[in-house]
């Protein structure tokens, strides 16, 4: 299996002496790059931790460039040159032409996704009008100049089993990243992760301090899957345990584990199934054995609230992907958001995506909304 950006960066840091690594982390902390890496985030952390932090902070491709610049700044020119060569080889590999189309992935009859149209921006007049009419029914949206929106994007393309390679998935990644950035989200991006690494990426994302200054988040995971799980890149018949349980996504982002996103919309784009966790959790400033003490410093909050999910297909059915243009689910979703996110709330946008699939004559795939716990309308107001 080909190297990922994570592998390249980790190998580059592993080649440093302890003294060089210490100078590297000091320079990383002192750099003026945004978003900033805080001293507490990397202090006393090993090379694997620093690799993860850099990718989470800068995205995979940018992290390699940042690492090369920092290595040069501390006089480690040969490690910097080696890293740049590995990054260049990785970039060439990503842009290779995909193999010929497989018969089952040819475009089916019906309207095809159009992802080339630009995202239409919302007008201040519309925003003022809708807030005046339905202000109490709409999730608060912070001003563009003060908020820090984050989105998580995981795309598994290369698998240990050659015949599991998800051709065309790179196009999905490009389209989704462009859409999310257009909607005002900084994108934390990962590719080719195992089930455990997906879980770690979700845990790290849920702990990001930016969520405190955000009004919402998106989590997009693209991979092979089963009814209740997302497969890691090492999944194969003799290793069927490499997967991420879909419930873990909600667990990491729920009120208990991600209080910074309390009462804020959390949009999940993934195959998913329902769970049976208890419906509420105690949130308090300090622990208390008497949960019914009304004079306590805490309040009851719903354990899982303000989620909305769109699944690429209904349970037990397949999800189609074109080997050049990507998944129909992602294609139609990007098309609908580009055209209508400036005037429609998220559940209406999801309904429109469902209608796009309904118009297919022979493609027996239907996306479905799932695990919805939104209590208000979520307007994205792109551009504002």
Q: Are residues 338 and 190 in the same domain?
A: yes
Q: Are residues 313 and 245 in the same domain?
A: yes
For residue 100, the model assigns a pLDDT of: 31
Residue 104 has pLDDT above 70, yes or no: no
Q: Is 230 contained in some domain?
A: yes
Q: Is 383 contained in some domain?
A: no
- The count of structural domains within the chain is 2
Buried b / exposed e along 32-66 (16+ C-beta atoms within 10 A)? eeeeebeeebbeeeebeebbbbbbbbbbbbebbeb
For residue 127, the model assigns a pLDDT of: 96
For residue 182, the model assigns a pLDDT of: 96
For residue 273, the model assigns a pLDDT of: 29
Q: Identify the band that residue 96 occupies on the pLDDT scale cut at 50, 70 and 90.
A: very low
Domain CATH for 315: 3.40.50.1460
For residue 65, the model assigns a pLDDT of: 84
Q: Are residues 214 and 320 in the same domain?
A: yes
- Alpha-carbon span 65 to 90, nearest angstrom: 12
For residue 133, the model assigns a pLDDT of: 95
CB 365 within 8 A of CB 317: yes
Q: Is 375 contained in some domain?
A: no
Higher pLDDT, 212 or 35: 212
Q: Are residues 36 and 116 in the same domain?
A: no
Q: Is 104 contained in some domain?
A: no
Q: Are residues 83 and 42 in the same domain?
A: yes
For residue 109, the model assigns a pLDDT of: 54
- The mean per-residue pLDDT over the stretch 183-202 comes to 95
Please identify, among 36, 64, 94, the residue that sits at the C-terminal boundary of a domain: 94
Which among 332, 329, 311 has a CA at the least distance from the CA of 320?
329
220-240 pLDDT tens trace: 999 988 877 898 999 887 778
Is 224 known to be catalytic? yes
Residue 363 has pLDDT above 70, yes or no: no
Catalytic residue among 190, 224, 235, 252: 224
Q: Is 99 contained in some domain?
A: no
Is 252 known to be catalytic? no
Q: Identify the band that residue 121 occupies on the pLDDT scale cut at 50, 70 and 90.
A: very high
Cα distances (Å, whole numbers) of residue 177 to 103, 183, 230: 28, 10, 20
Q: Are residues 181 and 266 in the same domain?
A: yes
Q: Is 379 contained in some domain?
A: no
Q: Are residues 263 and 170 in the same domain?
A: yes
148-177 pLDDT tens trace: 999 999 999 898 888 888 888 899 999 999
Q: Which two tokens stand for residue 293?
A: 């003490």
Residue 105 has pLDDT above 80, yes or no: no
Q: Identify the band that residue 179 occupies on the pLDDT scale cut at 50, 70 and 90.
A: very high
- Alpha-carbon span 171 to 173, nearest angstrom: 5
Q: Are residues 164 and 22 in the same domain?
A: no
233-284 pLDDT tens trace: 998 877 788 889 888 999 999 999 999 999 999 999 985 322 223 334 444 4
Please identify, among 94, 127, 155, the residue that sits at the C-terminal boundary of a domain: 94
Q: What percent of the chain has pLDDT over 70?
A: 84
Q: Are residues 211 and 72 in the same domain?
A: no
Q: Is 154 contained in some domain?
A: yes
Q: Are residues 75 and 131 in the same domain?
A: no
Q: Which two tokens stand for residue 150?
A: 């984050």
Residue 54 has pLDDT above 90, yes or no: no
Residue 92 has pLDDT above 80, yes or no: no
Please identify, among 61, 94, 127, the residue that sits at the C-terminal boundary of a domain: 94
Q: What are phi and psi of 53, to 5 degrees?
A: -65, -40
Higher pLDDT, 292 or 194: 194
Q: Is 183 contained in some domain?
A: yes
What is the average pLDDT score of the chain? 83
Q: Are residues 207 and 252 in the same domain?
A: yes
Tell me the residue range of the domain where 237 lies. 109-285+294-370
For residue 168, the model assigns a pLDDT of: 82
Domain CATH for 60: 1.10.533.10
Q: Identify the band that residue 59 occupies on the pLDDT scale cut at 50, 70 and 90.
A: confident
Q: Are residues 43 and 188 in the same domain?
A: no
């Amino acid at each position: 299996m080909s190297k990922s950006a994570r592998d390249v960066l980790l190998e580059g840091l592993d080649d440093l002496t302890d003294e060089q690594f210490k100078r590297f982390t000091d320079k990383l902390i002192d750099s003026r790059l945004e978003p900033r890496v805080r001293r507490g985030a990397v202090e006393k952390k090993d090379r694997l931790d620093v690799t993860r932090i850099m990718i989470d902070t800068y995205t995979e491709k940018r992290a390699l460039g940042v690492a090369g610049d920092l290595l040069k700044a501390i006089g480690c020119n040969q490690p910097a040159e080696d890293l740049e060569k590995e990054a260049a080889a990785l970039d060439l590999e990503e842009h290779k032409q995909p193999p010929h189309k497989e018969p089952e992935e040819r475009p089916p009859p019906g309207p095809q996704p159009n992802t080339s149209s630009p995202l239409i921006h919302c007008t201040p007049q519309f925003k003022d009008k809708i807030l005046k009419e339905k202000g109490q029914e709409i999730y608060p949206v912070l001003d563009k100049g003060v908020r820090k929106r984050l989105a998580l994007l995981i795309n598994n393309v290369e698998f240990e089993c050659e015949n599991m390679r998800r051709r065309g998935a790179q196009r999905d990644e490009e389209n989704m990243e462009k859409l999310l950035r257009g909607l005002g989200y900084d994108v934390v991006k990962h590719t080719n992760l195992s089930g455990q690494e997906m879980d770690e990426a979700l845990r790290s994302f849920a702990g990001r301090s930016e969520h405190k200054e955000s009004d919402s988040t998106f989590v997009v995971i693209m991979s092979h899957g089963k009814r209740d799980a997302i497969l890691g890149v090492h999944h194969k018949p003799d290793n069927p345990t490499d997967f991420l349980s879909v419930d873990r996504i909600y667990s990491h982002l729920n009120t208990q584990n991600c209080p910074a996103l309390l009462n804020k919309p959390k949009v999940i784009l993934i195959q998913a199934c329902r769970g049976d966790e208890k419906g509420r959790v105690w949130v308090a400033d300090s622990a208390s054995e008497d949960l019914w003490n009304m004079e306590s410093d805490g309040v009851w909050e719903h354990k899982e609230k303000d989620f909305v999910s769109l699944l690429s297909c209904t349970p037990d059915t397949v999800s189609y992907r074109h080997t050049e243009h990507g998944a129909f689910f992602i294609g139609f979703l990007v098309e609908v958001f580009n055209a209508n996110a400036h005037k429609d709330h998220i559940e209406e946008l999801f309904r429109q995506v469902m209608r796009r699939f309904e118009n297919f004559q022979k493609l027996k795939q239907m996306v479905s909304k799932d695990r919805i716990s939104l209590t208000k309308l979520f307007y994205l107001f792109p551009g504002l």
